[in-house]
Structure 1
């Protein structure tokens, strides 16, 4: 290609880049991130799975009593169309049952012991076995904690839960109290279309794009359709969490909420970097770090 042709191509690329930069916009403010919240947010992963059986009413109540800012949980849909909470797609790891949640009815799930396999000593003891810990519904949580902020992850399912989930959020007036997350881009896109007034975090592909753009300091070119980046410290050999990443996210008006941070040293480091919250199995440790 002749030099003049290269110059023309470069000129066009520079013009396109300038237009993208000029037209890019940061995320809008959302009521979920209210100014009166106590930042950085203590976000209890599954209600604090390092302290008690995760994704249970027992965990959520104890986390609330501890004074955490946000309850984090995982939502599935049952065979009979009820939204229930559990981390895995099957009940095998945490209960005394077997099978996929999506192939079971709510009545079948309610018969299971949701504290059956929780242990802190590699199976030597199971302190919550037979204690009446059951699989909760999303509606039960909304009813019990109407004033609590929640991060709710849409898990992998065959059936869509966008419509019933949105209807439930609206029924309990939780539009400004919940942040919806998912690793599955298609599920998050359909939820946003169904429930545009509710805040969401970034899906997997959105996170990847933003992280890669921040490496050559091009984060300002990105116009996010989400309000939060819930990310690991590193992924696929790429370091995600750095002070520069936090700065780039904040310039796009995005909250940064790393997961799953369970040790005091890492908590202190990330808090010093200015993160907006930490997703943790050990909310008790973070509460101590923050002096609450």
Structure 2
């Protein structure tokens, strides 16, 4: 059986504070395959590593990320980080330059979930400039964003993050068809929405099938048992332990 790939979600949210430098530095020490994170642009176009479109939930600042300049943003701090500021995408690329861990970059939308103007070109340009384009995969919930990535960087591995209720609403064949039309490489559903028929349809389309949101023992074991290609987790340490146990049981 193929070994499911583990993505440290936002650097290991439940361990070190999401999308913090401390989280990314600690993830570097783990034998995971992927580190997952999100990007938004500041008002002056600096790509920063942050999940929400607003700063309120995870920093000591407020308001939309793209309403504030990088100079202003850099004065704040990320919650549970020990006072560390938000990282830029460029800084994260430099941090992982010599690691075997691949970057799993999610392109986010604005406060209305609308893609930022020119965001795909900006992300690809930054990855190119930092020499990390070959070590990065792109994920998004937005199929238009993913289709643009496919057109601009056809060799880049991409992941369609399927909204939580979509697999059951659309049906397996429709999910697979959208994925093929969008030219993604992997379909990733919420761990609660893993369905055998969707998995079969996706695999029959020669695409990978993964999941996100596997943050506890039961969900991690579910992802492993059902043969997910890759999964994201807030507990990469626990996922590694459970994967080792699973591999020993199934050898």
Q: TM-score, normalization: structure 2?
A: 0.83
Residues 1:215 and 1:41: Cα distance change in structure 2 (over 3 Å)? same
Would you identify which runs of 4 or more consecutive aligned residues in structure 1 move more than 6 Å?
Answer: none
Normalized against structure 1, the TM-score is what? 0.72
CA RMSD of aligned residues (A): 2.7
Deviation, structure 1 residue 261: 0.6
Which residue of 2 is the match for residue 266 of structure 1? 219
Find out whether 1:140 has 2:91 as its counterpart: yes
| Pairing 1:96–2:54 present | no
List alignment gaps of at least 5 residues for structure 1.
Answer: 1-37, 119-127, 235-239
How far, CA to CA, are the matches of 1:290 and 1:93 in structure 2? Answer: 32
Partner of 1:106: 70
Aligned length: 235
Please, which of 69, 78, 82 is the counterpart of residue 46 of structure 2? 82
Is the radius of gyration larger for structure 1 or structure 2? 1
Q: 1:215 to 1:221 in 2, by over 3 A?
A: closer
Q: Residues 140-289 of structure 1: matches in 2 within 5 Å? A: 140-146=91-97, 147=99, 148-157=101-110, 158-202=116-160, 204=162, 208=166, 212-214=170-172, 223-224=180-181, 225-234=183-192, 240-289=193-242
> What is the alpha-carbon distance in structure 2 between the residues aligned to residue 52 and residue 291 of structure 1?
22
Unaligned runs of 5+ in 2: 111-115, 246-251
